Chain A
Amino acid sequence: MVEHAEFGSYYGRPVIKAPSWAARDIAGYFFLGGLAGAGSVVAAGAHLTGRTTTATAMKMSSLVAVGLSAAALVNDLGRPSRFANMLRVLKPTSPMSVGSWLLSVYGPAAGAAAFCAVTGRLPRIGAAATLGAALTGPAVATYTAVLASDTAVPAWHGAHRELPYLFAASATAAASGMALVTGATRESAPARCAAVLAAAADFAASAAVERRLGLVAETFRAGRAGALLRSARVLTGAGAVAAAGSGLLGAQARPVASAGGLALLTGSALTRFGIFAAGIASAEDPKYTVVPQRERLAAATAAA
């Protein structure tokens, strides 16, 4: 941790360029992709354990979420009419390319799973699609962390090891929240359990991110990002407590579970918007680019 770090800059101008992505589109995409991806895993679990109401609700939720997330992505392109160019090549070095291909596999699977569940037709295909979506869903939920980290943005790149776990936890919190809101109460034991696990993992991963970032972690605490992330923590924690508590209540469980679910969903969304805002803040202040690089240079010189 560096206090009052001294550093040179060119009239205080940023060294790197912040992405011109709109928070609504891209942070929204991170949230929706997580909700869809983790939701498909919950849906498959519910499907396999005979929790039909929850299974159908989660399949629908995932379909809607992935549809909205694709719309957000296309909307954010400077040239939306050229969206098809995304699938022109498959480049392992471009997380956006990998993600586009991943979505083109996951999306139809999630769609088929929802279609078969709602209409009751083609149950075999529905089961296969449910499993397919559950296997690709986790990747949809975590690759977005790589998408953000694979940039020069200090708050994102610096956390490239921990961010996927935070995204996985946040996605699971959102999906369990959705299951609590939309599923049947008597089917909700797994969602309650997942909510508690996800909230614990979310807190652990957030702490690990901030520890790793050192000076740059300031961007997670200050300003808009700080406010978003603090609110996210409160909501996620409260949501998990409500979810766990609802399991102990008898007849009153429903409203408590629903409220907890909503808190978890909102908490997850705020987490993504907070991380997005922290990244932008870290890109716009030259301090977060220059000081860590200087420290790295000094460490290398000391070692030599």
Chain B
Amino acid sequence: MIAAKGRPSHTQSTAPVNKRRAAGTVLAFLVASLITLSFAVPLYWMLITSVKGDTEVFLTPPTLYPHAVVWENYTKALTNIPFFEYLRNTLVYAIFSSIGSSLSSALVAYGFAKIRWVGREWVFNILLGTMLLPGVVTMIPTYLIFRDLGWTGTLLPLIVPAFFGGAYYIFLMRQFIQTMPDELAEAARIDGCSEFGIFRRIILPLIQPALAVVFLQQFLLAFKDFLGPLIYLNDPSQYTLSLGLQQFQGANGQEWGPLMACATIFTVPLFVLFFFTQRYFVEGVTFSGIKG
């Protein structure tokens, strides 16, 4: 902030246009900083509440920083609920559905991008149309299917559908695969490579960035999912973190310190993942081509 405030003085001697530009930059910087700060405040509030002691949590007006850091909330969060069991369930759901989504979406996307077949555009439009279909219409019969299969109370109804590929992910992958030159596949085809061989040996290694985008997006989605686990999981031993945290809140609604500690350790793994893989989230926007 200090550096930016100093900026106009550097440009004082240059033309008035530059001066106005510099003033604009400072203004934009101040406004943007303020907005960014307001987005960050809730997270700060979560963090400091998570280390406030029992009495400090309820002080009115609240303290703006923890006067005494108490780690007890974290031990409570980890022991009052079977945290690691929930974490394991969450990871199983997130990892397997991500593997399923990325591989099957790639396979399907290849069928739409590189193989010319009659009716392809028509079918692809149906696929795009399903993106507009609200999940609430199909929710009840889908539940009944999985109940009849005896899968309710397990993670299967959450994981298995991912292996059919997601419409949005297929769209994303198709956009990406279309940018691959046809000559690569053509050469392999002349050498007698099967179409699946081309997909597996040539295309799959080349589309790793797109696979990463889909994998990460699905991982995040599954890790955070609430409605799916709420509908399908009924035994506490199967709960994911979302359900566990909601149950914990229902039972200990006033224990804000442990609640915030629990919310924090639920969120931190995702933050770490996000900060190391940021570019894949931006690339997702690029692949989708909806830049306009």
The finding on whether chains A and B are genuine partners in a shared complex, rather than unrelated, reads no
